[in-house]
């Protein structure tokens, strides 16, 4: 025991600010600063309270941190196995000229911590570190083995972070039977009631490069084999396609809870109307009741009067658990036979049953701090490191608790301009996560 405060929320705001100030922008290549500096900072924070950690570097600067805490993985004292708690250290880039504040200053303004990573996901990294450090100082160490993991490269698919840990350092993780990570436990307000959304599923990811090839020629002449025309037609078909509504177990449960508030039964026919009850969050939730494909990049040619031989496009495809075959069959029809398709990243969807002791612990910890709330599962439109960790057989959930203002368009802040998180939401999250660790 020391004189340092042991309030689980005592350090969370400053830790979040310090993590934001360490630029870990991930450009999807090797141009960024990497995560090494942030990883060393995390390792130092753990070492200060007597928790040893290991840094794993997949390539220069691309660094993850793993630490074992709590009960011994080999003790056999806990039949449920270990719990993995994971967050990532990298962030997407930010163009400072678009922001009201310096995105890497960790500024506090109007009751918010501003900066790149404030919600994705240095907020949860800070919550976890604040709670673990406070509990370690107070001697409140969990009896269940806890593996703490702070990863590199999540924003580019985790190929230099979680994927490497699973493939090359599985001994650090293989005792874990359950995992919790990002993008869950945050609140949305529907008809005056806060609903906390626990991530219990993720769409699969198919980042694809489309290539059309044709005959080069002069721009002034007729050319029936124009690669740009072929590619543009395929991209237009993909972008305009209306995918049908498909309800997975997690979304059926969530929309049933919304239906009770709206006094109507949730069905595929009214699913879109019920999703609109979430306001700004409907942007994300509307994408998890159907498959989606969005064209994101186009490239062709080098001079205005030269028809190029080749044209390429990138598309971001996301497909629901259980609807993979439908997704790829439809996509093949939309692309056509003359376009080559290559995968930049192809990761499977997943869904964990929304039941069991861990779900009960998450629910109790939230309701202890917000008794009148509703807690329900949802399916996440993006991807997290859970896709990799689940390869080791873990039941996975997203649980980074935040109590948010009803008028905050929270989901727009992910990868958005002026990313920020309420100070009191950070403190709330730390208190909830502390309760959660008491119960796991």
CA angle 74, 132, 174 (to 5 degrees): 30
Spell out the residues 6+ positions from residue 52 whose beta carbon is closer than 8 angstroms to its own: 46, 67
For residue 80, the tally of other CB atoms under 10 A from its CB is: 13
Yes or no: say if 154 and 162 are a contact pair by the CB < 8 Å rule: yes
d(CA 397, CA 363): 12
Q: If pLDDT is split at 50, 70 and 90, which confidence band does 72 have?
A: low
CA-to-CA dists, residue 286 to 230, 240, 246, angstroms: 30, 16, 11
Residue 345's pLDDT is what? 86
Residue with tokens 């593996």: 147
Q: Which of 44, 24, 23, 46 is nearest to 129 (CA)?
A: 46
Q: Which of 106, 99, 81 is nearest to 18 (CA)?
A: 106
Closest Cα to residue 45, out of 84, 83, 4?
Answer: 4
Q: Which CATH architecture has domain 12-192+350-439?
A: 3-Layer(aba) Sandwich (3.40)
Q: Do 12-192+350-439 and 205-347 agree at the fold level?
A: no
Distance CA 388, CA 368 (A): 32
> Residues 9-65: pLDDT tens digits?
999 999 999 999 999 999 988 889 999 999 999 999 999 999 999 999 999 999 999
What is the pairing mode between strands 176-181 and 395-398? parallel
Q: How far is CA 404 from the centre of its chain?
A: 18
Class of domain 205-347: alpha beta
**Does pTM top 0.85 for this prediction?**
yes
Cα separations (Å) of 17 from 38, 106, 111? 12, 4, 13
Reported as a pLDDT band with limits 50, 70 and 90, residue 1 is very low
Domain boundaries, the chain: 12-192+350-439, 205-347
User: Quick one: pLDDT band at residue 359, thresholds 50, 70, 90?
Assistant: very high
DSSP 238: H
């Amino acid at each position: 025991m020391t004189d340092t405060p042991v309030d689980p929320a005592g350090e969370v705001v400053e830790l979040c600010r310090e993590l934001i100030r360490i630029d870990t922008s991930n450009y999807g290549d090797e141009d960024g600063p990497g995560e090494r500096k942030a990883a060393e900072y995390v390792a130092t924070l753990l070492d200060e309270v007597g928790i040893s950690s290991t840094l794993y570097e997949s390539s220069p600067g691309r660094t993850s941190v793993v630490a074992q805490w709590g009960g011994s993985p080999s003790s056999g004292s806990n039949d449920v196995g270990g719990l993995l708690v994971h967050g990532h250290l990298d962030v997407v880039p930010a163009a400072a000229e678009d922001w009201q504040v310096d995105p890497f200053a960790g500024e506090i303004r109007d009751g918010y911590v501003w900066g790149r990573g404030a919600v994705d996901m240095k907020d949860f990294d800070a919550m976890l570190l604040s709670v673990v450090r406070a509990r370690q100082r107070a001697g409140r160490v969990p009896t269940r083995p806890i593996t703490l993991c702070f990863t590199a490269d999540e924003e580019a698919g985790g190929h230099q972070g979680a994927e490497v840990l699973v493939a090359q350092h599985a001994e650090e993780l293989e005792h874990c039977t359950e995992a919790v990570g990002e993008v869950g436990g945050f609140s949305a307000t529907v008809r005056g009631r806060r609903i906390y959304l626990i991530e219990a599923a993720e769409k699969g990811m198919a980042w694809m490069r489309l290539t059309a090839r044709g005959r080069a020629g002069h721009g002034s002449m007729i050319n029936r084999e124009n690669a740009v025309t072929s590619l543009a037609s395929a991209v237009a078909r993909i972008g305009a396609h209306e995918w049908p509504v498909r309800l997975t177990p997690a979304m059926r449960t969530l929309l049933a809870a919304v239906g009770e508030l709206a006094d109507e039964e949730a069905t595929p026919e009214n699913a879109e109307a019920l999703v609109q009850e979430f306001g700004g969050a409907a942007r994300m939730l509307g994408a998890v009741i159907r498959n989606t494909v969005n064209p994101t990049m186009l490239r062709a040619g080098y001079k205005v009067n030269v028809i190029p031989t080749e044209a390429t496009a990138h598309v971001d495809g996301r497909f629901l658990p259980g609807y993979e075959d439908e997704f790829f069959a439809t996509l093949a029809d939309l692309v056509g036979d003359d376009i080559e398709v290559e995968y930049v990243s192809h990761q499977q969807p997943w869904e964990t049953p929304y039941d069991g002791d861990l779900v009960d612990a998450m629910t109790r910890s939230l309701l202890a701090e917000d008794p009148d709330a509703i807690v329900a599962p949802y399916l996440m439109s993006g991807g997290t490191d859970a896709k990799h960790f689940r390869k080791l057989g873990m039941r996975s959930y997203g649980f980074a608790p935040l109590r948010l203002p009803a008028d905050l368009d929270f989901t727009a802040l992910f990868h958005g301009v002026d990313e920020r998180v309420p100070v009191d939401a950070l403190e709330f999250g730390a208190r909830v996560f502390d309760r959660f660790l008491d119960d796991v």
